[in-house]
Structure 1
Amino acid sequence: MFKHLLVPVDGSALSERAMQASIDFARQLGASITAFIAEPPTPPAGSTHSAARYLRDLETHAQVAAEHARGVLSAFERRASDAGIPFDGCFAQAHEIDAAIADAARQRGCDLIVMVTHGRGLFGEWLFGSQTRGVMVRSKLPLLMLH
């Protein structure tokens, strides 16, 4: 069955649910977990900022994003370790989060992606987009959606 789960997280209350559900599921399957966080890079430079300020903003954003990822992944790792689940965590910056999730699953040799969906409905998806739908389109792996 499934032996290696990719679990995208972002530190939100919804991702807390994904963490606990994936740990419980991995325990039942005897599987390992790879947690993944993808953060968007900073927006393009505006005409009101100097090049020097933009470069400082890029560096600051990268540091904040990496610190956030380390904190979330560390918390997830503690929970997985307490449950006896083999764990790995990874972080990337990407413009297309859904593509980054699909790529991470493929590169890490995962055989199932476990994601939480907001369940906004068609209008909400149109308005805000759907990372889950994007992953379904971009990946050939099975996807377990938690609602």
Structure 2
Amino acid sequence: MYTRILVATDGSPLSKKAVKDAIALSASLGAGLVVLNVVPRYPMSYFEGGANISPQEIGRVEKEWADRGQAIADAVQKSAEAAGVKAKAVIAKSDVVATSILSAAKKNKCDLIVMASHGRKGLSRILLGSETQQVLTHSTIPVLVLR
């Protein structure tokens, strides 16, 4: 059915549930697992009076975020391999999470995306946006959304 599954995780309790289910699904299908953590870029201010931060400081912070993201993905990879699932941990550096998820799925030839959703409704969904909704809208492969 599925041969390679991508699971997106940010290390939050909700995404840990998606990870657990993705590992179980991969194990039951004999599918490989690609673990993705999307790392944001440092926000830049282009307004007058904005804080002036050195490029070295920005680089340090972005490296710290990337290291944290890699650690999250590596921990999931380790858990998957302990369950007998062949897994690959990857990070993407981007502020556009949904696009990064879709790109990683395509690059790694995944045939299913597993991710969590907070299930927000109404105004909070409009104000906060929904990466899950963007993935669902633009994906050409199946997406399994867990709450």
Per the TM superposition, whether the score is higher than 0.5 is yes
How many angstroms apart in 2 are the aligned matches of 1:80 and 1:96?
26
How many angstroms apart in 1 are the aligned matches of 2:106 and 2:97?
14
Query: Offset at 1:40?
Result: 1.7
Query: What is the Cα-based RMSD across aligned positions, in Å?
Result: 1.3
How many angstroms apart in 1 are the aligned matches of 2:111 and 2:143?
9
How many angstroms apart in 2 are the aligned matches of 1:25 and 1:2?
9
TM-score scaled by length of structure 1: 0.92
CA contact (8 A) 1:2 1:111 kept: yes
Tell me, yes or no, if structure 1 residue 14 matches structure 2 residue 17: no
How many angstroms apart in 1 are the aligned matches of 2:117 and 2:25?
17
CA contact (8 A) 1:38 1:93 kept: yes
CA contact (8 A) 1:6 1:35 kept: yes
Q: Across the two proteins, how many residue pairs are aligned to each other?
A: 145
How many angstroms apart in 1 are the aligned matches of 2:50 and 2:144?
44
**Unaligned runs of at least 5 residues, structure 2:** none
CA contact (8 A) 2:32 2:85 kept: yes
Query: Offset at 1:89?
Result: 1.0
What is the aligned partner in structure 1 of residue 128 from structure 2?
Answer: 128
After the TM superposition, which segments of 4 or more aligned residues of structure 1 sit over 6 Å from their partners?
none
How many angstroms apart in 1 are the aligned matches of 2:54 and 2:127?
29
CA contact (8 A) 1:18 1:146 kept: yes
What is the aligned partner in structure 2 of residue 29 from structure 1?
Answer: 29
How many angstroms apart in 1 are the aligned matches of 2:101 and 2:38?
7
What is the aligned partner in structure 2 of residue 101 from structure 1?
Answer: 101
How many angstroms apart in 1 are the aligned matches of 2:80 and 2:44?
37
Residues 42-84 of structure 1, C-alpha deviations (whole Å, 9 max, x = no match): 111354433xx33123202211111111211121011101100
Deviates more, 1:87-96 or 1:108-117: 87-96
Q: State, as a whole percentage, how many aligned pairs show the same letter.
A: 29
CA contact (8 A) 2:5 2:32 kept: yes
TM-score scaled by length of structure 2: 0.92
What is the aligned partner in structure 2 of residue 114 from structure 1?
Answer: 114
**Unaligned runs of at least 5 residues, structure 1:** none
What is the aligned partner in structure 2 of residue 55 from structure 1?
Answer: 55
What is the aligned partner in structure 2 of residue 68 from structure 1?
Answer: 68
